[in-house]
Amino acid sequence: METARKITIEVPAALLDKAQQASGVGITQTVRTGLQLVAASQAYAQLRRLRGKVRFSRTLAELKTDR
């Protein structure tokens, strides 16, 4: 496991409650999930820019028969 850092943050109670309801987990895991989503947002943006520009060498039919 990676080294963890203990932090203190101030967030609006309503925002934290809403995030916890959406995630269904406790405060720590909710904050971790939020941070992971923020960290991944750049990768998602790069993938969106590639939409429609990537050519695959195999057809859908070939992929289905490869199972």
- How far apart CA 31 and CA 19 sit, in angstroms, is 9
Is 4 a domain residue?
Answer: no
Q: Give the chain's domain count.
A: 1
Return the pLDDT at 8.
Answer: 95
Is 45 a domain residue?
Answer: yes
Q: For residue 61, what are the domain limits?
A: 13-65
Q: Three-state SS for 35?
A: helix
Q: Which residues contact 9 (CB under 8 A, 6 or more apart)?
A: 31
Q: Per residue in 19-57, pLDDT tens? A: 999 999 999 999 999 999 999 999 989 988 988 888 888
Among 9, 10, 28, 27, smallest CA distance to 18 is for 27
Return the pLDDT at 1.
Answer: 66
pLDDT (average), residues 56-62 = 85
